[in-house]
Every structure is written in C-alpha cells, then in structure tokens.
Amino acid sequence: MSVKENNGQPGQGRKAWETCVAGLPERPQKFMTVSSVPVKALYTQEDIAGLDYRRDLGYPGFYPYTRGVQANMYRGRLWTMRQFAGFATARESNERYKYLLSQGQTGLSVAFDMPTIMGYDSDHPRAFGEVGRVGVAIDSLEDMETLFGGIPLDKITTSMTINAPAAVLWCLYIATAEKQGVPSHKLGGTIQNDILKEYIAQKSWIFPPEPSLRLITDIFAFAGKHVPKWNTVSISGYHIREAGSTAVQELAFTLADGFAYVEAGIKAGLDVDSFAPRLSFFFNAHIDFFEEIAKYRAARRIWARRMKEKYGAKDERSLLLRFHTQTAGCSLTAQQPENNIVRTAYEALAAVLGGTQSLHTNSMDEVLALPTEKSVRIALRTQQIIAEETGVANTIDPLAGSYFVEALTDQMEAETEKYFERIEQLGGVLAAIDQGFFQQEIADAAYRYQLEIEQKDRIIVGVNDYTMEEPKQIELLKIDPQIEEEQKRRVQAVRAKRDNIVCGNRLGALRKAAGTGDNLIPFILDCVRAYVTEGEIIQVLREVFGEYKEKPIF
C-alpha cells in the first residue's frame, strides 16, 4: 500500500480524505452525544473558520472569559473540593463534616432532609418517614449549632442546598455564626436559593413564583449590606439535567433563569452591580466528555456578553460566571456499581478541563443509598488524583483551539440563543413555566433517552450490554428509624424551653412584614435567634403567600 500524502491545496486534501473515508465501513451505531446531537467523523479548521480569538475566546480572566474566570486559574489555587454531605441528625452530620475536613476537603456542602427542604418540622405529619433520610434534619437554631459545632465559620466556606426556605436556613447560619462570635461580613458560602429551577425540574417548591422571587431579592439586598462575601443564588442546571434535559437545555434554561433573577433584582430597584457579582452557578458534569467541556466554556461567554451588552453591568465581577459542578447522578448505574467510580472520574475530569471553581464527585453507591464513608473517600480521592497526578491542572484551558471543542462551544451558544428567543416569545421564564414549556421539553428528552437505551441505540455498560449476574449488593449506609423519634423529641424540647411569648411576637412581626414590602430577612433573623422553628416560620409565610400548585404533565 502506498503512502497517502496530503500535499497540494487544503481543499484537495479534504476531498481525498472524504473519498477515502467514504469507502471505509463504520460501526453500526449512531454517532451522537449523550444529548442525541450528531457528531461528525472529523472537525477541521473549516468548522471554526469564523472564530476570532480576541472576540470569542480572549485570555483567561479577560472578556469574554471563555477560557476561564481567573487569569491564573488552577496555577494559583486548585478548585474547591466540596463533597455534598448530610444525613440523619445534626450530630451525625457534624462528625461526617469533621471527617471530610480531616481528609483534605476544603469546603462544606450541606444536604438537608426532605422535611427541611419543604419547610416542615420533624414532628409535622407530612414529615412522617422522611426525617434524616436524604440529608440532615434541621428544625431550629439548636440543630444548626450542633451541625457546625467545633467548626469555625470564619475559616471555612459552606454551601447549603436549600431553595424554597433558603432565607430561613441562611438566617440560621448567620445566627449560628453570631453565637460563635463571627460577624456576618466574615461569612463565606453559598445558598442554592434557585426557586425557578424548582418549578422547572426539581419540584421542591413551597410558595408561588412572585413571593418566592421577593424573598430572593430581599436576600440580595440584605447580603449586599451585611453578608457581602456570600453567594446569594447558585443558579442551577444540575437538577434540570438530572431530570432528563439535554446539555443545551441545561445551559439555556439555567442561563435564562439567571437573567430572570437579574431582571427581578433590577425591577426591585437594585443596581445590577450591587448583586450580580454574588450570583454563582451550578452545573452537571455528565458522561459526554467534550460536550460538557464545551458547555462550560459557552456558559461563561454567553453570561459575560449578555450581562455587559443587555444589562449594562459595569463591574467586571458581574460578568464572571463562576460555577460549582457535580458529576451526574443520573449517569450512574445500580448494576456493577464499582464502575461508577470510573464514570465519575471522567465526568470530574471534564469539569476541571471546563474550568470549574468547585467540584463534588459522586460516590459509587449513591444510586442505591446515601454513600458510606469509604465510597465518599474514594470520590474525594478521585479529585485529588486529577489535581495532583494527571497534570491537567498545569496549564489553563488546555482544549482551547481544538477544532471539535471550539465548534461545539459555538454550536452550544447558537442553540442557547435559539432557546432564549423561544422563551421570550412565550413571555419570559415565569410565563414559560406556567405554560409547562420547560417541563415538557425535559420530559420529552428524558423519554427519548430512555427509548434510546431500550432500543440499544445507546449502550450503558452493565445495563443493556456487558451485563452479568451479581451476587450481592455492596454494603450500604443505613439510617436508623429511631432517628426520626429522637429528632421529634428534640424539636419538642426546644419549643418547651424557649420563651414562647417572644417567639409569638416575632412571628407576628414577620407576618405583618410579609404583607408589606419590607425586607423580610431581619424579621426571619429575629425569629431564629429566639429559637422559632423553621416549620413555624414557613407556616406563617405559607398563610400569607399561599402555596404553589403544578399542573402534572407527562
């Protein structure tokens, strides 16, 4: 066989290659991303002919920030390794946090149980069977003091995954810090506080959208004055993706939510640069390696461009899309769960190559139960191996200039702009939620994905191919059912020993303020300081604001 040489014009070379490849057989499968986007056999200079380095990429830390939000990225400091944890009671979770910190974790991330997430105390009938199951149960300041006992809140940053009742948990954190002698301006961390994606995907809502947005803008205003280092919203694509969306849908819907918060802040009379620097993001790292990297790069560019051009942000920090990443829970399999360690490692690598600011790596057993200490350690070690051994953190945005990655980045930006147009035509994010637009788009994508698996257009190792008989499930973490009884007794004891007259007065003041336009944060803070419970505060707000109801569609 003679040597094939591409000498002559580039076009001629391409033609020769096309002729050559056309005669070669391909594997019978569909070549597409995990989002069902077709992928070509080859990407070349022609795919990024329109790319202008200065306009579209720029230098790290410089507009439009495609290559990263810091000038030195991981050469200065590695990403924060932040494992999401929380289960059972505050005491057990406190022990897990101390363990994780002792193992080299650099920030805390709190998982709450469902009653806390939905604003019910542990002894409420709706909490039955759910206390401490998927996260830690927090009812009052006493629980929060236990949760962070022996952990100095001026030395670490904490992320709290809490949405509908975010204002209450945030006030509990501030009040806990006060008790430790740490003033609020020294506190750093994040509350998820992203209610829009709850209506769209995760479905842990309490109030209707309007009062929910008011609570969020109250937090913006209070944080701007008193808790300036706090990330007030973590605008989340993670749950949108887990609910079944494609990568582009995750990107487009998340950014649309972000711009909706910006508009809400502006509408509430705030200067965009007074709150936008504290907005942060939270994305999924799914299994499709290049698609995910392109998604993060496109996200930074779109956010910067719109914030500057459409919303007139002047402070550079308002343009920076800083984000946390979690590997994709929905990509893990209950079959041969040890394989999940490998999946998670690739996903984490994509997040790092995409320039994440912090990262949670899932544990192999999370598809079955809350993770054991051993599996959490392996997940954390996965990040440490990426950071210390693989060499990928030595240089910034190493995939820039790749024909494929740049073409995908452009494609994602263009597709996202199309979704923005559709959302605008529907009347904006709130109107689109009301019409079930996002919910239907996600449900369609989830169903298509399932059918692809069942028709074997998509192979999942251990699920629809490479299967085997498995003897026994790996060891799982168990939550003692007694935890619920203990926690119920604890909250009842708090109610018995506090000053109930003061509590009643403060709840009355909150109720009154909720009916006016006053900022509610100082009122909530006063309540939690007096050991009013989360459930009692939310109940008052429920009575004033009402409850959200969804039209179920499938």
Q: How far is the CB of 465 from other proteins (least distance, A)?
A: 12
8 A C-beta contact, residue 484 and residue 122: yes
Q: How far is the CB of 129 from other proteins (least distance, A)?
A: 3
Nearer to other proteins, 131 or 503 (CB): 131
Q: List the one residue from 400, 463, 509, 544 that touches other proteins (CB under 8 A).
A: 463
Instruction: Indicate whether 243 belongs to the interface with other proteins (CB under 8 A).
Output: yes
- Binding window for other proteins (CB under 8 A); candidates: 118-126, 175-183, 387-395, 516-524: 118-126
Q: Is 42 helix (H, G, I), strand (E, B) or coil?
A: coil
Distance CA 248, CA 257 (A): 14
Q: Is 81 helix (H, G, I), strand (E, B) or coil?
A: strand
Structure tokens at 168: 């209450």
Q: How far is the CB of 88 from other proteins (least distance, A)?
A: 11
Q: How far is the CB of 368 from other proteins (least distance, A)?
A: 6
Q: How far is the CB of 331 from other proteins (least distance, A)?
A: 11
Residues of span 478-537 touching other proteins by CB under 8 A: 479, 481
Q: At what angle do helices 289-309 and 403-425 cross, to 10 degrees?
A: 50
Nearer to other proteins, 29 or 467 (CB): 467
Instruction: Indicate whether 461 belongs to the interface with other proteins (CB under 8 A).
Output: no
**Cα-to-chain-centroid distance, residue 446:** 19
Residue found under tokens 């079955």: 368
Q: How far is the CB of 306 from other proteins (least distance, A)?
A: 29
**Cα-to-chain-centroid distance, residue 164:** 15
- Binding window for other proteins (CB under 8 A); candidates: 14-22, 180-188, 372-380, 440-448: 440-448
Residues of span 147-206 touching other proteins by CB under 8 A: 198, 202-204
3-state SS string for 511-524: HHHHCCCCCCHHHH
Which residues pair with residue 161 across a beta bridge?
111
Instruction: Indicate whether 443 belongs to the interface with other proteins (CB under 8 A).
Output: yes
Residues of span 342-381 touching other proteins by CB under 8 A: 367-370
Distance CA 323, CA 233 (A): 11
Nearer to other proteins, 16 or 367 (CB): 367
The beta strands (E) that lie in 24-91 are given as 80-81, 84-85
Q: How far is the CB of 273 from other proteins (least distance, A)?
A: 34
Element holding 439 (H helix, E strand):
helix 437-454
Which residues have CB under 8 Å from 266's CB, separation 6+?
A: 272, 311
Q: List the one residue from 48, 69, 85, 114 that touches other proteins (CB under 8 A).
A: 114
8 A C-beta contact, residue 277 and residue 318: yes
8 A C-beta contact, residue 57 and residue 400: yes
Distance CA 279, CA 231 (A): 6
Paired sense of beta strands 233-236 and 279-285, if any: parallel
Q: List the one residue from 123, 130, 218, 250 that touches other proteins (CB under 8 A).
A: 130
Nearer to other proteins, 403 or 548 (CB): 548
8 A C-beta contact, residue 526 and residue 185: no
Q: List the one residue from 454, 465, 485, 499 that touches other proteins (CB under 8 A).
A: 454
Q: Is 105 helix (H, G, I), strand (E, B) or coil?
A: coil
Nearer to other proteins, 424 or 470 (CB): 470
The amino acid sitting at 310 is: K
Q: Is 50 helix (H, G, I), strand (E, B) or coil?
A: coil
Measure Cα distances from 175 to 168, 180, 229, 230, 427 in Å: 10, 9, 16, 15, 40
**What is the strand order of the sheet 233-236 is part of?**
80-81, 358-360, 323-327, 279-285, 233-236
Q: List the one residue from 56, 121, 242, 526 that touches other proteins (CB under 8 A).
A: 242
Distance CA 199, CA 548 (A): 9
Q: How far is the CB of 453 from other proteins (least distance, A)?
A: 8
Structure tokens at 94: 């406190």
Instruction: Indicate whether 136 belongs to the interface with other proteins (CB under 8 A).
Output: no
Instruction: Indicate whether 468 belongs to the interface with other proteins (CB under 8 A).
Output: no
Nearer to other proteins, 24 or 468 (CB): 468
Nearer to other proteins, 420 or 548 (CB): 548
Distance CA 175, CA 141 (A): 8
Q: How far is the CB of 446 from other proteins (least distance, A)?
A: 5
Q: How far is the CB of 15 from other proteins (least distance, A)?
A: 44
- Binding window for other proteins (CB under 8 A); candidates: 293-301, 426-434, 489-497, 546-554: 546-554
Q: How far is the CB of 549 from other proteins (least distance, A)?
A: 8
Residues of span 319-338 touching other proteins by CB under 8 A: 330, 333-335
Contacts with other proteins: how many residues (CB under 8 A)? 44
Nearer to other proteins, 400 or 443 (CB): 443
Structure tokens at 532: 């009013």
Residues of span 17-76 touching other proteins by CB under 8 A: none
Nearer to other proteins, 27 or 472 (CB): 472
- Binding window for other proteins (CB under 8 A); candidates: 8-16, 120-128, 175-183, 504-512: 120-128
* Alpha helices per DSSP H over 181-315: 196-197, 209-226, 238-242, 247-267, 272-275, 289-309
- Residues at the contact surface with other proteins, assessed by CB under 8 A: 114-115, 117-118, 120, 126-130, 133-134, 198, 202-204, 242-244, 330, 333-335, 367-370, 443, 446-447, 450, 453-454, 463-464, 472-473, 476, 479, 481, 550-552, 554
